[in-house]
Amino acid sequence: MCGIVGLYLKNPALESRLGELFEPMLEAMTDRGPDSAGFAIYGDEVGDGWVKLTLQATSEDYDFKALIAGVRSRLQLPLDWFQNASAIVLKIQADEAVVRAVLGELAPTVRIMSVGKSIEILKGMGLPKEISARFGLGSMKGSHIIGHTRMATESAVTMEGSHPFSTGADLCLVHNGSLSNHFRLRQELRREGIHFDTENDTEVAAGYLAWRLQQGDSLKTALDSSLEALDGFFTFAIGTRNGFAVIRDPIACKPAILAETDDYVAMASEYQALSSLPGIETAKVWEPVPATMYIWERESA
């Protein structure tokens, strides 16, 4: 059980303020999710042939310098990186598979949180306020962002169990609700080659979407199939390279609000998370109907 929030900027002039606008949205969801928090921010795209990864270690003291030196010496490819608390963002002119293999060898305990052209996923245990401060959310720039505050239901409170979950390149998922058939589905997806780190029901939903997309489904087809395959109560917000999507299960008990102005589209579990956004007083505010995908995306550059 949790709070979810998302902000997609239609007006590029606001991109330098994305983190500043989003931070109060995340904190407003603290009561819904005191255990852990996380967000996936999109922006600072890498060029053709390049890939961006977010890696997270268990502590800020992890010797990332040594890890990067190791990667450099192994791959001899152009790369760039910076550290943010216990995480690093690594940009490298290489194939995802190659990088994963090297990282798996050199640093098996470091988790790859996200891979893509644009996405960066940062998450951790603690109150949303703490997560914001730890990663410097308030000064981040980007085109769109989704976030989550967690009240763990049937699995442990760990960094791995926090949302967002990555479902593939530039894709991620946050979830408010509780799935009732995640156990069997996890077993089936494992047989399909999907890897799981936790017993968390949301990770299963993310894995299911990743599998459908790998099979060639479009995002819409994959989400439509998920309405059948996933049993339980859910509001999902999905981050894509160019935007975000929202979908609710057919019974639609878990809350969801959308707000749209000329400058942005915002989504939250409760209206009060949106109340600090500029122009919210005159925004179009509505609730998504059940079993229907809503998506906002810019055209690819």
Query: What are the catalytic residues?
Result: 2
Question: Do the Cβ atoms of 219 and 170 come closer than 8 Å?
Answer: no
Residue list 137-176, contact with other proteins (CB under 8 A): 151-154, 176
Contact between 69 and other proteins by CB under 8 A: the answer reads: no
First to last CA, the chain: 37
Name which of residues 33 to 62 contact other proteins (CB under 8 A): 33-34
| Smallest gap from residue 154 Cβ to other proteins (A) | 5
The least CB distance from residue 176 to other proteins, in Å, is 7
CB of 37 to other proteins, least distance (A): 14
Helix residue ranges, H only, 113-248? 128-135, 182-191, 201-214, 219-229
In the complex with other proteins, which residue's Cβ is closer, 175 or 241? Answer: 175
Q: Does 269 participate in binding other proteins (rule CB under 8 A)?
A: yes
- Contact segment (CB under 8 A) with other proteins among 50-58, 96-104, 219-227, 267-275 equals 267-275
Measured from the CB of residue 142, what is the shortest distance to other proteins in angstroms? 25
Residue 271 makes contact with other proteins by CB under 8 A = yes
Exposed/middle/buried for residue 34 (C-beta within 10 Å: 0-12, 13-18, 19+): middle
What are the residue ranges of helices labelled H in the chain?
A: 18-28, 64-75, 96-106, 128-135, 182-191, 201-214, 219-229
Number of residues engaging other proteins in binding (CB under 8 A):
34
**Among candidate residues 174, 51, 31, the one with its CA nearest the CA of residue 103:** 51
Measured from the CB atom, is 62 or 264 closer to other proteins? Answer: 264
CA 289-290-293 angle, to 5 degrees, is: 80
Minimum CB separation of residue 95 from other proteins in Å reads: 41
CB of 118 closer than 8 Å to CB of 170: yes
The answer to whether the peptide bond before residue 164 is cis (omega within 30 degrees of 0) is yes
Binding of residue 233 to other proteins (CB under 8 A):
yes
The verdict on 128 binding other proteins (CB under 8 A) reads no
Q: Which residues bind other proteins (CB under 8 A)?
A: 1-3, 31-34, 151-154, 176-178, 233, 251-255, 257, 269-276, 285-287, 289-290
